[in-house]
Chain A
Amino acid sequence: MSTAAATVVEAPAVSHRQRFRDRWYRNTSFVAGASILGVIVLLAILAPLVTWHDPVQQDLLNTLQGSSWDHPLGTDDLGRDIWTRLVYGARTDLRIAFLAVVFPFILGTFAGLISGYFTGRTDSVVNWLVNVVVAFPFYVLIIALVFVLGPGSRNIYIAITIVGWVSYTRIVRGEVLVQKRQEYVLAAHAAGLSNTRILGRHLLPNVITQGVVFAMSDIVLDILAIVTLGYLGMGVQPPTADWGRMIADGQTYLTTNWQLSTIPGIAVVITALALSLIADGLADLLRPE
């Protein structure tokens, strides 16, 4: 056997996943965000177990109660338990927010991939579309779209997708423009691989990180959008519990019963904080070495 084929002793290879597993819990932001969000999601999932009232059952004899053993956070103007509505509201809002982020993520990533990779006409068309959408303020466009389409969660998904994909396209396109000049893409071309394969198997995994990180902050935006729509009466329709609706309904009693609006408001802030912390931590953890 020649010296060339003789094997060399090297440092043992450590599995990549193992490294991630070893590191994630040392990232304070990620752990804090994940814990908070975990508690909220757990409460939402276990809603029937952690509450003992019906979220839509009115009790007109016990309206606007302060906190008590039976109603830990009191009741609203229709005598509904606030704690129960808060937990069921989390169910509604989180589900819509998570789903609403999936469609723009997929659509925007795809558009960003092809426009960054095949420059020229495709790129011009995509960029033009992006600029058209970006020209409108985020909320104005969403509210206008929901106004045209009508309220309801399906139309919220559609409106958020139409407005939200552009951010992913911009992020992914920028990454593709950088990554496609890397030598491994040249090497993939030199190996005779097709454009589809290079895009899907080589570029996508290398550009997706930024998209995933942004998706976390995007959920926050979506929650705010849903809450805003609810507040404006164009979101989830009553009597379904929803934080935006709760804030809107409570504002009439702001001077006498401030907690009606404030409690769901705090819930929004805490959720947003948790997601931002996760985004921060992920950006750290997923950064390539």
Chain B
Amino acid sequence: MTEPLLEVRDLSVELSLEHGVLRPVDAVSFDLASGEALGLVGESGSGKTMTLRALIGLLPRTARIVGGSAVFDGVDLASVGEDELRNVRGRGIAMVFQEPMTALNPVMKVGDQIAEGPLVRLGLSRGAARERALELMRTVGIPDPKRRADAYPHELSGGLRQRVMIAIALSGEPRLLLCDEPTTALDVTIQDQILALLTHLRHELHVSVVFVSHDLAVIAETCQRVAVMYAGQVVETGPVETVFRDPRHPYTLSLLRSVPDFEVVRETLATIPGSPPDLAQLPPGCRFHPRCRFSQEDCRTGDFPLQAVGSDHATACIHSDACALDVAREPVISRG
């Protein structure tokens, strides 16, 4: 494997609350190669978004990085100062947000918002920045860019707004795009177009992508590698094909089983019993064991670091064979 563009090692984030300290991100590690797309999957509150925020230093005021490193292009994002971090934002790493309506300035023309990066960060002239904005609007498939450039966000549809968001993210010519559930707020048809656009841009412009989503289908469609997060930890990681076809962590397996399948119509949807643990009262041992149907006595104590179960495939489960057997009995992906 070539030198990774982003190398995250044991990244931990702590949140100070009135009644104690929580760890929404606990020793998270992953690598991202140049031009690769990595999916971060997990339920709400599993620490996906917090991990992304930590990478560009935009954590909430009460949160801070307490350990680990995140080396991007030779710079450790977890330890550099605010000035250097600001230099990386927009230019090296850009972010696409979930809700394009609130993530765009409501009283600024979208053309000006796209041109701001080239104008301020790349130092282009006003005219050149505007030209660049129109070019970016064409790149992300916005029809009639000259006219749309003078529109305000509320005058555009959800799909167009998300395209504008992506154009803004691309305006600083970043090498890494952090996408925080970029399609969750959109209709399925529009969602498909945006996903296809992101894949297209990744090939065309050679940007790497970290894609946060709770939607497994979205990850399967856009990413090569996936890291599954549960209660602040990565519990399984590997190539999307391998992990989704042959999951080795009971949590991943349960997630895949709970995706509705139109070919096998069932009376009720499969769900994961129980609810995600409260970060203030984490169960000892494996954090998933209270909800796990394969759990045994030895799951209740000790640490559960990722262990290789194949080339490039790792899981935190010590009984991963049980998953393999279950999958052998009933494959998780019925479609080819």
Contacts and interface: CB of A to CB of B under 8 A. Distances in A.
B121 A4 contact: no
A9 B143 contact: yes
A14 B148 CA distance: 9
Contact of B147 (A13, A16, A201): A13
A78 interface: no
Given A186-B103, A192-B86, A201 B143 contact: no
Interface string B118-156: 001100000000000000000111110001101110111
Nearest to A189: B58
Contacts of B197: 4-5
Given A15-B150, A192-B87, A289-B154, A183 B141 contact: no
A187 B116 contact: no
Nearest to B192: A3
B188 interface: no
B89 A191 contact: yes
B120 A16 contact: no
Contacts of A288: 106-107
B106 A184 contact: yes
B102 A183 contact: yes
The interface residues of chain A, by DSSP majority, are classed as loop
Interface residues of B, number: 52
Nearest to B165: A187
Contact of A7 (B97, B143, B196): B143
A43 B89 CA distance: 56
Contacts of A10: 143, 156-157, 159-160
Contacts, number: 114
A197 interface: yes
Contacts of A8: 141, 143, 159-160, 193
A209 B105 CA distance: 15
A189 B160 CA distance: 22
A26 B243 CA distance: 61
A201 B108 contact: yes
B196 A191 contact: no
Interface in A3-37: 3-11, 13-16
Contacts of A289: 154
Interface in B170-209: 171-172, 193-194, 196-201
A187 B104 contact: yes
Contacts of B11: none
A205 interface: yes
B99 A192 contact: no
Given A8-B141, A13-B151, A183-B99, A194 B104 contact: no
A182 B106 CA distance: 11
A2 interface: yes
A263 B86 CA distance: 62
Given A13-B151, A187-B104, A4 B172 contact: no
Given A16-B151, A189-B89, A201-B108, 14 more contacts: A4-B193, A4-B194, A5-B139, A6-B141, A8-B193, A10-B157, A11-B157, A15-B151, A16-B152, A182-B102, A183-B97, A191-B89, A191-B94, A194-B86
